Amino acid sequence: MEKDTGTNQSTSTSTNIDGRVLDGVEAVYMSVVSLLGFVGNILILTLILRNKTLRNSSNILVANLSLVELLVTCTEPFHVVAIAANGWPLPTAVCEVVAFLSITGIMCSIVNLTIIAVNRYVLVARSSDDYHRLFSDRNTGRVAGLTWVYTVSFVGVSQAAGMTTGFYELPRKCIVLGNSSTANVNFVKVWVGQIAVLSALSAVFYAKTYLYVRRRRQEQTCDVIIKRQREREEKLTKTLFVIFVLFFLTWLLSTLIVGLHMVSSVSVPSEILRLGSMLYSTNVVINPFLYGWKNQNLRSAARNMMRKNAVGSVDT
């Protein structure tokens, strides 16, 4: 019996050590992602706001997406604190605010990505007059503002109807409290349903854009300017499509993992829940680094800004 007890204690100690190691890995990963997301999204916003040549309708939507992701990034340090403390050490009200911002951010992101998909289709497949009429700077600014109004109103009304948020021990995030009430279950269903519909719409518009581009490639043009413009449009559309796909995949996997744990009786291993949590956090770095890296105008603006700062520091 003593031998069995010793074996059990050894197994328990090994499990605790493994848990602490995984906690450390998760905390470090989320800290790095938070830092990169914060810096990257701030850089995207700064470049677009400071350069008039970058303030077109496409970049206004990208800037709005960066603003959303910056908001979500600011909630990640609270989750790192929860991992380090192995629980929620802060007031409940703080957790509710973090949950509100996280839920609103995810919803607002997918709405933005859907509008970007429509923007790409109209730019590539419709006439220039249609594009400038539908996506003038003023109209695009209004649409960007309406994405915030819609998502904040949706989450706010849901809370007024009885949806509650709080801290989940695993995956140690402030989110909707799963199946604790009918209102929460209904909210999760409607929320996931909306995102599924918006994701499907995005996929349809990108598919229509792709089919149009493939048909257009068969047309020969001798105008070098038009040819280069088309190539730039196609390249940017591909980049934004990749951003959408990566966002959707990381969101889908994390939602399936965490959602299965929250609203069903299925026991999901803690390691898988940690993976879902990390996938959820990864979204905040996809847009700024992929879009910034692939967009030549943003790269040039970033280099010019760094040169000016370097010259300014030497002069002082």
Residue 163's φ and ψ, nearest 5 degrees, are -65, 135
The per-residue pLDDT for 245 is: 81
Indicate the pTM of the whole model.
0.82
Residues 136/201/234/109 CA torsion (nearest 10 deg): 70
* Nearest-5° Cα angle at 42, 39 to 48: 140
| Six token digits for residue 59 | 């970049």
- Rg, the chain, Cα only: 23
Cα–Cα distance measured from residue 314 to residue 78, given in angstroms and rounded to the nearest whole number: 39
> Which class is domain 13-296?
mainly alpha
Condensed to tens digits (0 to 9), the pLDDT of residues 183-220 reads 888 887 888 788 889 888 988 998 888 888 877 766 66
Q: Is 117 exposed, middle or buried (0-12, 13-18, 19+ CB in 10 A)?
A: buried
Q: How many CB atoms lie within 10 A of CB 147?
A: 21
Residue with tokens 């967009």: 295
Q: What are phi and psi of 169, to 5 degrees?
A: -60, -45
pLDDT value for 246: 80
3-state secondary structure of 97: helix
Query: How confident is the model at residue 261, as a pLDDT?
Result: 63
pLDDT at residue number 2: 47
What tokens does 291 get?
A: 């879009």
User: Is-contact 60 141, C-beta < 8 A?
Assistant: yes
Given a cut of 50, the residues of the chain with pLDDT beneath it are 1-3, 5-15
Do the beta carbons of residue 109 and residue 314 sit within 8 Å?
no
Q: Give me the residue spans of the domains in the chain.
A: 13-296
